[in-house]
Amino acid sequence: MSDKKIKIGIIGGTGLDNPKMLKDYQEIEVDTPFGKPSSQLTTGKLGDKEVVIIVRHGKDHLIMPTKVNFRANIWALKEAGCSHILATTACGSLRQEIKPGDLVFIDQFIDNTKHRILTFYEDKVIHTPMAEPFCAKLRGLLVESAKDLGLSYHSKGTMVTIEGPRFSTKAESFMFQKWGADVINMSTVPEVILAREIGICYQSVAMSTDYDCWKDDEEPVTWEIIVERMKQNADNVKNLFLKTIPKIDFYDCECKNTTSEVEV
């Protein structure tokens, strides 16, 4: 175990932003060089680990995906001392075997966004290796915990992130399947990229809520369906985090040593 300080950031949403899940919690307003983050930071302890929670779309879910200040959110967690991030996200399933209610521990992404700032670095060129964008060590711990809890999960999957706020057309949904995507959302990119740029281990926990719109015998996705299924799954993810976070005992990781700098 490393003697460097471990602090866990949670990027949460519906059902996962309750400060009462933390002991001795405090709510802190912060600012960053990139503006205000989506919400205040909630800090506290979960077992023997220090935890910081931020709510990606704001406390009342009023920030649409394109308008999320991803740079401020990740920077705020870094400045708060976070060494690892567990990020929850709703997703649509592009595969028959990934059923609504299943958890997917993402290992790859496809960027289909169009209007987002993808880097912290605007005054110099930074080439960040992205072959393995998510933290394999965190993913392994989550898989172990999900198995122990008897949850329905998939140990890996490719996420395609679209711009939103609209949902996909059926033609797009079929196209993403052919690209090799397993699930679809509006938030993983650029979050995972920014975390890697500044050396934070990042792992996404995706909660399947629907079959997007490709499946003719299923109702096409609506926001109401997503919210209801996120609420249903919130306890599973909370229990997953309660079991996993105390196991996080590593600091040194490939995630923290992957930025290659070229100035032009």
Q: Which residues are annotated as a binding site?
A: 14, 56-57, 89-90, 186-187, 210-212
DSSP secondary structure string for all residues of 71-97 = HHHHHHHHHTT-SEEEEEEEEEE-STT
210 is catalytic: yes
Is residue 179 within 8 Å of residue 200, measured between CB atoms? no
182 is catalytic: no
Instruction: Catalytic residue, from 212, 216, 235, 249: name it.
Output: 212
Q: Which residues are annotated as a binding site for substrate?
A: 186, 210-212
Contacts of 110 (CB under 8 A, 6+ apart): 158, 159, 160, 161, 176, 179, 180, 181
Instruction: Catalytic residue, from 210, 217, 235, 252: name it.
Output: 210
- List, in sequence order, every beta strand (DSSP E) within the chain: 7-12, 23-28, 41-46, 49-55, 84-93, 103-105, 108-112, 126-127, 153-154, 158-162, 183-185, 201-210, 260-261
Phi and psi at residue 161, to the nearest 5°: -105, 125
Looking at the annotation, which residues are catalytic? Answer: 210, 212
